[in-house]
Structure 1
Amino acid sequence: MLAGRAPLGAAGCGRLLAAGLRALLCGLSPCWVTAGRQYPALRVAEPAKEKRLVHKEQRSSLVVRRFIACPQLARTVWRCLQRGAGPGPQPLLLEFAPGPGILTRTLLDAGLRVVALESNSDFLTDLKSLENSLDGQLKVIHGDFFRMDPLTKGTLKPPAVSSDKLFETMGVVAVPWRADVPLKIFGIVPQQLERNRLWRLLFAMYECSSIYRYGRIELNLFISEKEYTILTAKPGESKIYQALTVLAQLGYEIELLHKEPWSSFATNLKNGGLAVPKTVQVPNDHLCLVRLTPQQNLFTGGLKPSNASTFIFMVKQSFAKPKSKLTDRLNSWSLDNSDTLLKALEIPQNAAMCNLYPEDYKRLFEALQNSDMFAETLFHDEVLASTRIMNL
């Protein structure tokens, strides 16, 4: 959480929004200053209209959506997104599922170029109106980020969207993997199938498919505190250290930008509730804004996009019994020189799968790739099963 800032909460957001409207009605300056520059204030969304749109979303959506409905929270998120930014022009930012567009307006006020990817027709109409009032700074597209590149044949119909067409529309071209980040993405991950959505992004990153065909796309995602705890778990924490942990820590640079209580976000639930997932294993009181930047050196050595799916399922199979010994797992893969291999890798022979560091898994995979006794066909059925995850 940002130092010195208390969580906003729904009541605090309401008071702040009311104060902002009073300031506008009193004729205060229509400009605000940030980073030494002054920007004209864009049209402020009307609270009554936002409430009406969210209420309409309550009647039409089967997925629980959360929205940034408080200007102060929007400014906090904007500052987080700017953290670590160097001088000069910033990469284009894609905001998915912006809803009423409170954050969208804040980003535009700050001078950023934004693409808004929205699936709901009512929110889309309001965002299109905002787009038409600007001079190319905002591009609004009908689509669902989590229905990107579905495994279907034929012409895609919105909200399904093709990454190729999306990137062509945005004017973002592919760059080498080790180049700078060509695009930043922000959004709130829906809690339904949250784990599967994270898995799908991870698959695409390791295989350099979908959005990652264009380079090391930076993700800035609000995810549940539970999933953040799993992403950052340490070896030996058997209840939360998982295959997802290993692959995420190896593939991404993971940075916690901010933590915010669930109550700070508006929802489309009919009863106005929060629908906070409960868990007894880890804390889950906040949404965590997490930056996931693909590692530049991920594909050095023997790991490549062409064999990444095999690596992923080697790790997943290793965690089928996380407390089992590594030597037993190697023997199950018909590797008869496991003692020699572990000695060369300086891994204890009695090490359990849940005690290996992410880098150990990569070194193990690269060593197995050079072994005549190791067959990738051991994972053939699991690789085929990946299509179910990729098509969610």
Structure 2
Amino acid sequence: MGHLFITGSCYTESCQSIQRLESYLANESLCLELNLYLQELGKNISANALMLHGITRKINVWTAQRKYMLKWTAKGLLEQGPLPGQQVIVWFHDKSIFYAHDCHQKSWFHKDAPARPYHKGEGHSFMVACFFSCDFGWLCASDGWTAEQFMFPGKVKDGYFTNVDIVEQANAAIDLVNELYPEFDHIFINDNTTTHLKCKDTALSAQKMSKGPSSKFYGNIVHLPDGLVSKVKTQMGPATFTDGSHQQLYHPDGVFKGIAAILAEHDIKVPACAECKVFKCVAPMINCCCCCVLYNQPDFGNVESILETTCRERGVLVRFLPNFIRLYHPESSCKDDLKRNAIEFLDTNKFIDAYCKGLNGQQAAWAAHKYKGHCILPDSLMDDLEKANIL
């Protein structure tokens, strides 16, 4: 170290090498000062003493060993530097519904003014479902390719956003993220709703099972796309033993074995009660009834949803948000922006339609106030303008 100080060589951590610079001994005043300092030291000279020449403040050993020390974050987690593997991008699934009469009932009334009847209801609805992330924003390509889904929800309109639509949108989103960002790993975050958590029709479920054999138990109820219950009988299963082999839940003639027989095949003691009231077992009991014991088995407790299975087969993980967490993730702020933009668009849509029909600013303002409950202006607009002496 004393040699480095005298010769003026420099050691850099970035290149891990010694770079030769101009020697400090070329400075005559510094050379004279060093000679006097060495004479004062006498026989006690050392490289460390020469290195400390001119330093008035004490350098702590912890400061010198800082780069060899472990560091922790504010949350108490150990900082390990860059982790191996690819960077993970989290995509949130956002589904927002906008109504035609959003914030259209805001007005001032005199305290003595009588109440006037008006059409109640939120009006026509419009749904938008899309993905966004904190790193790249909304999932959309530069050429307009997107995984957005638009719908006018309602029984007599476009129907409702079902699990089939969610899986189709997830497949489109996977195609898009693999095309735009192939160098990252992706995770889809969805709301914890029954539409997202829907499992296959043959998925295992311990609820409403009979304790003994039954010829009327055919597993889960199958629903048609229009919401009606299908009359097709669907058997559940099969389950899985601890060794990985399949366990059939039905006899060859189609009769359900019953929970007692299923647990006996696993060498599990069968409780006396078949199922607690409305399947609400008292925690932390896990063996209070037959359904609770069967529900806590690995094959019954780890049933994947259709969305999870579809995305996992394509290399994308799916996670569901816990309940009552909407205010703590980015979707809440995005919804506020979307609602504000939608309201502004609804307010300006009538002006744009009026300008397209050849009206000026005064006529467009009158028409927007006159037909404030309409999405577009009616065909009788010109006659109404003429009657109001505005045309």
Give TM-score scaled by structure 1 length.
0.19
Name the larger-Rg structure.
2
More helix by share: 1
Q: Which has the higher contact order (CA 8 A, sep 6+)?
A: 1
Q: What TM-score, normalized by structure 2, do the two folds share?
A: 0.19
